[in-house]
Amino acid sequence: CHGMHTRNSHTKITDDNQTSKLLNTTFGNIKAENQSLASTFDNFLNNRRKEATKTIIVEVQSSDSCNDLYSYCSSYGPIHLMHHYTVDKNHFFLVEFKNIESRKALMTAATHIHHQDIIPVQSQMFSFRNIAGQKKTKKIQLSSSDLANIHVPTINKPTVEKMSSALMNHTNDITKQMEILYDMWKLDDIGTRLRFFTAHQMENSFTSLFPNNIVLPFGSSVNGFGKKGCDLDLVMNLDNNIMEKQGSRLVFRTKSIVSDQRSQTKKTMELLSFIMQTFIPGISNVIRILKARVPIIKYDHLLTGLECDFSMTNMTAVYMSELLYIYGESCEFVRPLVFTIRQWASSVNITGVGTPGTTISNFQITLLVLFYLQQKKILPSINVLKSLSRPEDVRISETCDCTFLRNVSLFPIMKNKNNETLESLLTDFFVYYSTFDFSTKAISLRDGISLYKPNTDNLYICNPLEKALNVSKNVHATEVVRFIEAVRNAAELINEGNEKDSRGLLDIFAEKQPRKKITFFNKSFKRVNVADLFDDKINDEHKNNMTNEDIKKERIRKS
Ligand code: CTP
Ligand code: MG
């Protein structure tokens, strides 16, 4: 991570020696002076990270252990909250203390089980046992304020069936349906806590060797577009405090890296993966994918129920998460719209199917939605955000300049949003991409306009932070055609729904059936039969109905 931007102000997030980190480099100053507390990404990250240091998770027999566990833990200090959750029918409580001292005191009192073949590792993960013959902790009567902080039982992840029945109650109000869908699926408090806790466990496990290491969640776990049950993307930086202290005469003795930084990262990840698999409680099914462009370690966490992708070289991706987060914070339409479109894309098999890498991903769909909102003059371009940036917004990652205005309350006022509803935005999204010229145009969120493609990649979405890269380089031509078919079909279905009895969103969400023969409007709003259009034996009559764009698309398909 050499070359990463450094900052002068150092602020500790906690007084815990083991876990205190200096977040001065990666995320700027924790205090985030003069910034709105709720909306800065730094504050969000720092608050969640701090919570994790005061948290333990405890496996219990059932949710009935709640009062007993509450009583026991309370004897070490006041509890801020308790959440019940299950992983594969095993029951757990996440317990957050009000003060970190209570968590430390509890850990000092905890024990390993002797006379068993165990590796005596300590972490903030426990099981709660009954001791034969020993009186249980005196039960305390929980006050109503205590009870207000206990969340039990866990509400299970919604299913598509549950969502459909909730949407059925509002079939004539697509905006309402979009709000319901967002509320049902958005990552909830316990989901976010478990993600930060899982990151904290990794960080804590390597603190003695690397006291300044930092492990951060990124991607959908933190960018505001996370769905319940989404994977956890993690990135570790071994030294987050890279400023050389010029006045210091004592220099730490260290070893040299093997050959180059990339080889060293691979070597480090290989070693970490063995330690993770062998020593760290809950970590299971560790798979190393170290030859990839971004080497990752995949693993399952059996105690938090998360599927994790762990990497070490990808700090730019964290700033990308921040960019997406602040776009989501800046306008109330963004997140429900992205959720709805992601849900639609999954239901019509645009995402989540096929060979990974060749299909369109959730991240790419999100960028398509944000770009569309820029065209609607609802979101500013990244260039505008960069021009409005202040000195405290400057961030330079390993690979690029990630400077942009980070205070949402200073975003330019986008008047256009006053004329819109979620429903109108959804409809226009489908119409907008129905006529977008994917064959020659690239999408640039940085410029806020489409540009001519610099090469023949099938789908070209400029990386918002590293403009020269295409984040959708691997998407196959057929996937682009399928996307265009699907948006045209959705535009038509919504249009039809306005004329007859409609089920709102449910009309455009497919129910994972074999694909139907579909039709769409061409540019002159003449109906074109797509299935015929894409038949290899296109006759002249059909060709005459085709727009230039259709012909280009057909060329893409054939190539
Ligand atoms: N990312 C990136 N460039 C890419 C791919 C991914 O910067 N070409 C970053 C983005 O910040 C993205 C994150 O890596 O959000 C994680 O990627 P991925 O897991 O594919 O997407 P998510 O946004 O996490 O969505 P999902 O819920 O599908 O995991
Ligand atoms: Mg992800």
* Predicted local distance difference test score (pLDDT) of residue 543: 36
**Ligand 1 closest atom vs CA 318:** 11
C-alpha 401/C-alpha 395 separation (Å) is 6
Residue having the nearest C-alpha atom to atom 12 of ligand 1: 219
Q: Which ligand is nearest to the CA of 366?
A: 1
* Predicted local distance difference test score (pLDDT) of residue 355: 67
C-alpha 516/C-alpha 493 separation (Å) is 13
Residue having the nearest C-alpha atom to atom 16 of ligand 1: 219
**477 Cβ inside 6 Å of ligand 1:** no
**Ligand 1 centre distance from Cα of residue 219 (Å):** 5
CB contact set of 260 (below 8 Å; sequence gap of 6+): none
Question: Across the beta sheet with 283-289, what order do the strands follow?
Answer: 214-218, 232-237, 306-311, 296-301, 283-289
Which residue in 429, 198, 267 sits closest to 334, CA to CA? Answer: 429
* 8-state DSSP, 194: H
* Predicted local distance difference test score (pLDDT) of residue 241: 66
C-alpha 423/C-alpha 413 separation (Å) is 21
C-alpha 147/C-alpha 494 separation (Å) is 46
**300 Cβ inside 6 Å of ligand 1:** no
* Predicted local distance difference test score (pLDDT) of residue 34: 40
Cβ proximity of 39 and 408 under 8 Å: yes
**Ligand 1 closest atom vs CA 316:** 7
C-alpha 166/C-alpha 160 separation (Å) is 10
CA dihedral 38, 39, 41, 47 (to 10 degrees): 0
- Side-chain-side CA neighbours of 478 within 13 Å: the count stands at 9
**Ligand 2 centre distance from Cα of residue 462 (Å):** 19
> Which amino acid type is present at position 51?
E
* Predicted local distance difference test score (pLDDT) of residue 117: 86
Taking residue 512's Cβ as centre, other Cβ atoms within 10 Å add up to 11
Residue segments in the chain with a per-residue pLDDT below the cut of 70: 1-39, 133-141, 153-156, 241-242, 314, 354-355, 498-500, 511-559
* Predicted local distance difference test score (pLDDT) of residue 155: 61
C-alpha 481/C-alpha 478 separation (Å) is 5
C-alpha 544/C-alpha 559 separation (Å) is 21
C-alpha 242/C-alpha 412 separation (Å) is 35
**374 Cβ inside 6 Å of ligand 1:** no
CA dihedral 36, 37, 42, 45 (to 10 degrees): -150
